Amino acid sequence: MDTALEGASPSWAATYRRDCPSRTVIEVLANKWALYVLGALRRYDRPMRFNELRRLLDGITQKMLTQTLRALERDGLVSRTVYPTVPPRVEYGLTELGVGAGQLTSAIAEWSAENAQKIATARRAFDGRATVEPAPLQ
């Protein structure tokens, strides 16, 4: 057994394997736009229309929002409801599974907001060290 995994429970250690199904879920949740969509739907706590999401998520393209919503719908995190109106009205909302994922994304967003200044300070300190020339050995 790999020494890095010694002492870990077999189910937890399996999540680091490339063939673990949980990796595909993590890949979806690690997508920044998926995080934002899930977070927005959770924060507003109601179904939202496509253009409403697009206006809210500054910087997302129509193509990326479409791809993100399809991926989240495919994974059962978001539901898509089409209303028989002219033109058709489409709304996106969180499924029960999506509510749980939305809680995770909200926690990440809250942590990010609370610690953004500390991260910025750490980056400036690091970047300042990176520009200092190493002193020659004597």
Q: Any idea where the domains of the chain sit in the sequence?
A: 31-130
Note the pLDDT tens digit of each residue in 24-82.
Answer: 888 888 899 999 999 999 999 999 999 999 999 999 999 999 999 999 999 999 999 99
Say what the pTM is.
Answer: 0.77
Burial of 53 (0-12, 13-18, 19+ CB in 10 A): buried
Q: What are φ and ψ of residue 100, in 5° steps?
A: -65, -45
Q: Of all residues in the chain, what percent carry a pLDDT higher than 70?
A: 90
Bridge partners for 79 per DSSP: 93
For residue 84, the one-letter residue type is P
Q: Residue 4: pLDDT above 60?
A: no
Domain range 31-130, CATH class: mainly alpha
Q: Residue 2: pLDDT above 60?
A: no
User: Taking residues 4-20, what's their average pLDDT?
Assistant: 68
Q: Residue 6: pLDDT above 80?
A: no
Q: Longest C-alpha distance within the chain, in Å?
A: 80
